Amino acid sequence: MSLTSFPAGGPSAGLAPAANPFTKVTVPALAEMKRLGKRICALTAYDYATSRLVDEAGVDLILVGDSLAMVVLGHENTLAVTVDEMLHHTRAVRRAVKRALVVADMPFGSYHGSLAEGVANAVRFVKEAGAEAVKIEGPRVELVRALTDAQIPVIGHLGLTPQSVHQMGGYRVQGRTAEAVAMLKEQAQALAEAGAGAVVLEGVPRETAAAITAELAVPTIGIGAGPDCDGQILVLHDMLSMTFAPAARFVRRYADVGGVIRAAVEQYRDDVEHRAFPNDEESYHLPKAAKRELEAVKRDLQAGDRQRLVRPA
Ligand code: KIV
């Protein structure tokens, strides 16, 4: 049986995920996509409506990224978001998504203590929010092994790891020397051997990502890592222009949704101010009989008023 088919089979069982809208994407399917040379298309999403649209558009993997701390909650970096907040958003995404693999990002602090604590928090994402895999940042090989032993699929994240912003001294491109490339390769290899189903490579030179991708058995998913990774991921709000800072070099703006929202809301405000919204067709109306009754009552009241004016008490 193909790794990408529904257990029950079905009319579309056996086709690769991207060619088959009915096939649920799983972590093993990602490896199969790498083997078939099929690009993995991933995006972040954080709520029901956008996840549903992203899923229906055929994206293979939806990451409930801790980037939501910045693009949804308005924090300065990703460090503040909590497990409970991430669970809340993961549940909403889970309710929307039928086909894509739903991956929950473990937030800063939720896996930085003991292995047991990391596993316990990951279990919450699977059990309480329906995540199908979790993502952790950094070369945490022992934790990847422990999660794999606990039957929790895990995706690694190397290179520019935003949760290490203070340690890195800012958001800096990583893996820029031969030594750093060798280290990243070793780390990616160790994560894969420990059971990681894929590795996100963020903010590394194209050549670094290509070298890692060529040697790794599991797929790499790049963001700011050039075109040679097995897949690509972007932050949804970046690619839709729903952010408020200049975009990084690697972001392609596919639509100006921010501009569309702004223009629509300005038009609405204008219509409300000028009584152009709502119009009669956008209003509910009384049934004819009730309307006649209301008019009769109004006529009686007016007649009463006239009589009082003619014969004051
Ligand atoms: O949180 C996030 O959006 C991420 C992606 C940048 C990979 O980790």
Ligand 1 centroid to residue 1 C-alpha, Å: 32
Closest Cα to atom 8 of ligand 1: 65
Determine the Cα–Cα distance for residues 203 and 172; give it in Å rounded to an integer: 7
Determine the Cα–Cα distance for residues 233 and 237; give it in Å rounded to an integer: 12
In whole angstroms, how far apart are CA 143 and each of 121, 210, 218? 12, 26, 18
Model pTM greater than 0.85?
A: yes
The per-residue pLDDT of the chain, averaged, comes to 93
Closest Cα to atom 5 of ligand 1: 65
Would you say residue 195 has pLDDT above 90?
yes
Q: How confident is the model at residue 5 (pLDDT cuts 50, 70, 90)?
A: very low
Query: Which residues, listed in sequence order, are joined to residue 37 by a DSSP beta bridge?
Result: none
- Contacts of residue 281, defined as CB under 8 A and 6 or more positions apart, other chains included, come to none
| Amino acid code (one letter) for 288 | K
CB of 44 closer than 6 angstroms to any ligand 1 atom: yes
pLDDT in the model for residue 305: 76
Report residue 44 as tokens.
């972040």
pLDDT > 90: percent of the chain: 88
Cα angle: 198, vertex 204, 207; to 5 degrees: 90
Residue 158 burial (10 A CB sphere; 0-12, 13-18, 19+): buried
200, 238, 242, 250, best to mutate for ligand 1 pocket (most atoms within 8 Å of CB) = 200
Determine the Cα–Cα distance for residues 203 and 262; give it in Å rounded to an integer: 31
User: Hey, which bits of 126-227 come out as E strands?
Assistant: 133-135, 154-159, 198-202, 220-223
Lowest mean pLDDT among 56-65, 176-185, 261-270, 290-299: 290-299
Of residues 16 and 49, the one with the higher pLDDT is: 49
Report residue 243 as tokens.
């952010």
CB of 67 closer than 6 angstroms to any ligand 1 atom: yes
Report residue 4 as tokens.
């990408």
Would you say residue 4 has pLDDT above 50?
no
Q: How confident is the model at residue 7 (pLDDT cuts 50, 70, 90)?
A: very low
Residue 304 burial (10 A CB sphere; 0-12, 13-18, 19+): exposed
Residue 117 bears catalytic tag: no
Q: Is 189 helix (H, G, I), strand (E, B) or coil?
A: helix
Would you say residue 10 has pLDDT above 60?
no
Q: What is the mean pLDDT of residues 97-116?
A: 98
Q: How confident is the model at residue 2 (pLDDT cuts 50, 70, 90)?
A: very low
- Contacts of residue 211, defined as CB under 8 A and 6 or more positions apart, other chains included, come to 181, 185
The tens digit of pLDDT for each residue in 62-102 reads 999 999 999 999 999 999 999 999 999 999 999 999 999 99
CB of 132 closer than 6 angstroms to any ligand 1 atom: no
pLDDT in the model for residue 304: 82
Find the catalytic residue in 202, 207, 215, 266: 202
Report how far apart the first and last C-alpha atoms of the chain are (Å, whole number): 95
pLDDT in the model for residue 221: 98
Determine the Cα–Cα distance for residues 267 and 262; give it in Å rounded to an integer: 9
pLDDT in the model for residue 308: 72
Closest CA to 144 of 92, 91, 106, 170: 106
Would you say residue 133 has pLDDT above 70?
yes
Ligand 1 centroid to residue 214 C-alpha, Å: 22
Q: What is the DSSP string of 216-235?
A: -SSPEEEESS-TTSSEEEE-
CB of 137 closer than 6 angstroms to any ligand 1 atom: no
